[in-house]
Structure 1
Amino acid sequence: MEENGTLVKEFILTGFTVGTEVQMVLFFTFLTLYLITMGGNLGMIFLIQNDTRLQTPMYFFLSHLSFLDVCYSSVIIPQMLETLKTGGTPITYERCATQFFFFTLYASTECFLLAVMAYDRYVAVCNPLLYVTAMTPQTRIGLVMGAYSGAMVNTMIRTALTFSISFCKSNRVDFFFCDLPPLLKLSCMETGPREVAIFIFAFTVIMTSVSVILISYLFIIRAILRIPSAGGRAKTFSTCASHMTAVALFFGTLIFMYLRSNRGNTLGEDKIVSVFYTVAIPLLNPIIYSLRNKEVKEALKKLFNRMKISQAA
């Protein structure tokens, strides 16, 4: 009997179709990476909240980026670990839709938040004297709430379009979480119009964010080129380097995954790319911001010195 527009009441996530020994290696590898991701991002949030030198708009946004990375990876990796451990995990229709919803929400919010962070760098570089008055606590909260609100609209539409499809070909999802491409392969109805609508909304989110980032950095580059000294230009550019690296990693992977041609795509290729943006990027973000940021390094050094003193006492 059909229920909720579908003949499928639960899905089976097949994960990675490899041997048992390889699955165990992958299990412990992803578990280790997940623990490092949690430690790095939660540590970054703790550091920002407890160091007065990091109580600035840039680090306010960075703490939200770390929060998103914690949520983002926690939606996916525990499910991935369960699938690797069992070799095939049943997941209810409702749980699958919930996972899809929150994964889309956090990914979309990260798109908008990276655009907000680019705007923050634009104000800091191009209007340094007005930076404090322009980026008031109310403005920061408004920008973050705007990122979440825009992401929520995209997420609700994307989830509604995806889970209004009738799934009846099979309940075996050849993936490690409930993502769009493997779910579409289970449809027993024409999905063309829905796919076009989903593509349009994904394209709108990505291109809106990328446009804000590109425009911001065009003004930033112009301002940097006007700085007379090479040292001044290098110092100003270094304040944007971490953000530019994070943007290149996130949007480069996302654009490759969702805006590439469907010709010749396989779910095996999709799995590799998905592992990168669900596992690697949340892991790399705190590393990028800590290794390339003098203020974060000094805050870490200060924290370690406090720990040494407390242990000695």
Structure 2
Amino acid sequence: MVFHTNLNEATAMKPSLSALPIRALAAALFAGLQLLSFAQAAEPPASSEPVQLRNQAPGFFRMQLGDFTVTTLFDKSLQLPTSVLQGAAPGQIQTLLDAGDNPLSAFPVSDNAFLIHTGRELVLIDTGAGRFYGEGDGSLLDNLLAAGYQPEQVGKIILTHLHADHIGGLLRPDGQPAFPNAAIYSHSADFALWTSAEMARSTDPAKRKLHDIVKTVSAPYRAAGRWHTFDGQAEIAPGVTAVPLPGHTAGHTGVKVSSHGETLWAVGDMIHNLAAQSAQPEIYASFDTDGGQAAATRRQAFARIAAGHDWIAAAHAPFPGIGRLRDDGGRFAWLPAERLPLAESPR
């Protein structure tokens, strides 16, 4: 393509409009509009407000599960050192991390919570870290609002366990209850452990700190009579059932969500790193209370979820944390959920 810089020369070479065929004229006009559009887009428009290029998009993701709507709510990103992964030789673990594009000495984990809209009520599974873990305040409440819900609408909250990155979001940054109308459900063994005098007197600063956090975030809900404990398997709402997933903590719990023949398993901290633990479920985290039990639970649950073609929702899998599992002979492949239109529903 030749561009003429001499206006007179270019004008002399250009035929008159009347001499151009209609198609050629249309093509010329279209090309001119494209050049004009390019010229206009070459420089961003002036504005009195700076463009906030460092702001991420709202962190929520929706999917349909039978008649239910499941919404992932992102709270924050955390970093874990690769040394927390145990149960195999360090070189073997690093090979799995490299294959999953985690070649560094630490790996990022999302802190996800899952909101279930049953058509009759909102049930939230975990609440993120809030201000109690990691840096800064969590973004769960902002993302809840961005997803079209109000904190006052959440009727029930199921806590998979009582670590700070799952319960911190129960309080707003100002210390007030984030979910003023919600009933809270946690496993009795976890609650008894972390509120015990033993943990208050522990020589481990991390344990004493978690004891204080559990007491702090539970206090306003307990005072209002809205903190409840359960043992073993318990139906919290129709189609939403707490199920034991032992190993990570004394009362670590998953949540089975079922509607019209479709099932999703929210598995809490059964997964910390997909690349390593899906390929080799025996790899556990150093902060699992019982690493062997956690590994056995993971392998059994993975096989069941894959065989049933069910969905799995993991608090620390990359956002949105929802996918399916394919069993490749004892090694499992994660098949992430796709962004699809939702059916019209009572939502």
Range class of TM-score, shorter chain: under 0.3
TM-score normalized by structure 1?
0.26
TM-score normalized by structure 2?
0.24
Structure of greater Rg: 2
Q: Which has the higher contact order (CA 8 A, sep 6+)?
A: 1
